[in-house]
Amino acid sequence: MNQILISEKVYVTREMKRKKKIYKTLYILSVITVIILLFYYIISERNKIVQEGLSHEILEQIDDNTIVEEHSIVVALDENPDESETVPIEEVIEPEENETPPPSSEVTTSNGQNYEYEGVLSIPKIGISYPILTEESEDLLKVSLCKYWGPSPNQVGNYCVVGHNYKSGKMFGKLALVNVDDEVTLKDLSGNTVKYSVYYKYVVEPTDVSCTSQLTNGQKELTLITCTDYGKRRLVVKAREI
C-alpha cells in the first residue's frame, strides 16, 4: 500500500502577529500591575505597623499609678449627633479647691507628635488593649482607637469608640469575634477600671447613628463601632457596666 505523506505548513498572518503583540503587552502590563500592588501592600502594612507602634508608646506612657477622684458630668445628647453642635450639660459638679487636678492626658511619641488620650480599652476575648484618643480623624484612626461620641469614660451615658477593621486583626480587626456576655474593660484617667459586659451585636448602614443615643436609663454603656462588609456597613457592639 502506498502511503502519502502530507506536510502542513503554518502560515503566520499579520492578524496573528498583531494578536501576539497584544497578548504579550497585556502580560507585561499584568506583571507590572501585580508588582505595583504588591509594593503598595508591603508599604501599607509597614505603615500600619509603624502607626500602631505609636499607640503602644502612648500606652507605655500612661501612668497606671495616678488615681484622682473624678466628678460626674451628666449629658443629654440628640440621637443624631452633630459634632459641630454644642452638647447641653444638665449638671456639672465643680471640684473643690483643695482637690488635686486631673492628670495630663497628652503624651509625646517618638515621631514628635502630641496625642490626647482619655482612657484605655481592653477586650480580653480578642487580646487587644489600646489607648482611646480624645478626637477622631482619619490620621488619628491609623494610630489608635478614637472617641466618637458620649460622656467622659466610665460616666453615666453611652461612651462610643470607633476603630479600623484591619485584616491583620489589629485595632478592631477581630471585633466580629466578640459575642454576648464577653467582657470589655475601660480604664479612665483616674486609673479606675470598670468592667462591661456585651449585651448586643449587630450591623447597620453607615448613615444609622442611633447606636450613639445617650438614653441609657442612668447606666454606663460602651458602644464599639468598626467597618464591615468591605466598608459598606458598620459593625456595632454594645456593652453595659457589670
pLDDT in tens, 135-172: 999 999 999 999 999 999 999 999 999 999 998 899 99
pLDDT of residue 87: 32
pTM of this prediction exceeds 0.85: no
DSSP assignment of 106-129 equals EEE-TTS-EEEEEEEEEEGGGTEE
Distance CA 79, CA 111 (A): 38
> pLDDT digit string (tens) for 164-197?
999 889 999 999 999 999 999 999 998 899 999 9
What is the per-residue burial (b if ≥16 Cβ within 10 Å, else e) of 158-172?
bbbbbbbbbeeebbb
Given this model, what pLDDT does residue 101 score? 43
> What pLDDT was estimated at residue 20?
82
In order of their start, the domains of the chain are: 42-83+105-241 (2.40.260.10)
> Which residues lie closer than 8 Å to 161 by C-beta, 6 or more apart?
121, 132, 145, 146, 147, 148, 222, 223, 224, 225
State which residues of the chain have pLDDT below 70.
Answer: 1-12, 40-41, 44-48, 50, 63-104
Amino acid occupying residue 232: K
Angstrom distances, CA of residue 156 to CA of 93, 217, 241: 14, 9, 10
pLDDT at 76: 34
pLDDT for the residue 23: 86
DSSP state of 205: -
Would you state the pLDDT for residue 65?
Answer: 40
Predicted confidence at residue 93, as pLDDT, reads 32
